Structure 1
Amino acid sequence: MLDLRRIDYGSLNARQKENFNFQKLSAVLADFGYVTMRLTDDWGGADFIAQHIDGDTFLRVQLKGRLTFDAKYKHKGLYIAFPYSDDWYLFPHDELLATVLSETDTMTGTRSWDDNGLYHFGHLSVQLLELLAPFRLTGDTVGVV
């Protein structure tokens, strides 16, 4: 008899969490007509490629555990995917970065962004959730911390 038990996400190591999140997001993207192809090595910053059933749409996606902006992703045509609450978000990095920089004062003036070109959000404000609304995918994030 097969003994299936749900895993404790918190007990996974970083690589296992990334694999887990890739599988969860792939299932959500399937509902939107995408198949995913995991890359063995980051390709231009992408962790995986999402191909739409239309045969013309390909997304290069970087998978994150939280909302993240990174200067090294600029001008690469990357999408960033991350879980938050019971949803997934998938957004074009450069487009949302420009919006966040122009419409909020969250990142500008911080050492993290100004000195290192990296900023991530553990908690999303109402303003950020409104900016992210067009990029929200509903889906199962059970186990994602």
Structure 2
Amino acid sequence: MTMVNGCAEVALADTQDEGPVTFKKVIYSKLNSRQQENFNFQKISAHLADYGYNCLRLSDDWHGADFIACHIDGNRFLKVQLKGRLSFEKKYCGKDIHIAFNYKGSWYVYPHDELMNELTTNGHMIGTKSWDDKGGYSWGTVSVELLGFLQKYLI
């Protein structure tokens, strides 16, 4: 082992010096679904850090959560399901789940049951085949009315 400027010089037989590392942003739409989920987890984690949360990724859904957001006060823990759109699923009811999703560059984190109750009270989802028969409902495009309901969950 050779020392250079106090650091061990490591020789790698099958690599060549390619110069300084350059960074190139990824194109989200070119990522596969697992890569998109990893990308979104890193993005929402960074946003939640601004609010004092440390996010712990779970290797498998636990009680419906993809990750746990732990607040620095040691008293608040959120079970969070990461979604690609505004979504509700009956299987999350009663599990104290928050849903995180990105819409047009803005992140929203909402309590599933609370917002679901607010929306169904205002006539959303009820009577649709998706909600009544399949137990889930989502919006690819969020209307101005729905954005009004979501505003308090914008981070």
Same fold (TM > 0.5): yes
Task: Write the deviation string for residues 85-125 of structure 1: whole angstroms up to 9, x where unpaired.
Answer: 1210001000000000001x331111100101100001111
d(CA) in 2 for partners of 1:132, 1:106: 14
Runs of 4+ in 1 over 3 A off after TM superposition: none
Equivalents in 2 of 1:98, 1:107: separation in Å? 10
Alignment of 1:132 onto 2:150: yes
Aligned residue runs from structure 1 range 69-88, under 5 A: 69-88=88-107
Aligned 1:103-122 pairs, distance under 5 A: 103=122, 105-122=123-140
Root mean square deviation of aligned Cα: 0.7
Secondary structure of the corresponding residue to residue 106 of structure 1: coil
* Aligned pair partner of 1:100 in 99, 108, 119: 119
User: What is the deviation of 1:3?
Assistant: 2.0
Flag the structure with larger Rg: 2
Equivalent residues in 2 for 1:49-88 (5 A)? 49-88=68-107
Does the residue aligned with 1:123 lie in a helix, a strand or coil? Answer: coil
Does residue 27 of the first structure (1) align with residue 46 of the second (2)?
Answer: yes
Give the AA of the match of 1:64: K
Structure 1 gap ranges (5+): 138-145
TM-score where L is the length of structure 1: 0.92
- The percentage of aligned residue pairs carrying the same residue is 54
d(CA) in 2 for partners of 1:134, 1:11: 32
In structure 2, what is the equivalent of residue 8 of structure 1? 27
Q: Count residues in correspondence.
A: 136
| Aligned-partner Cα distance in 2 for 1:62–1:14 | 15
Structure 2: which 5+ residue stretches go unaligned? 1-19
Higher relative contact order (CA 8 A, sep 6+): 1
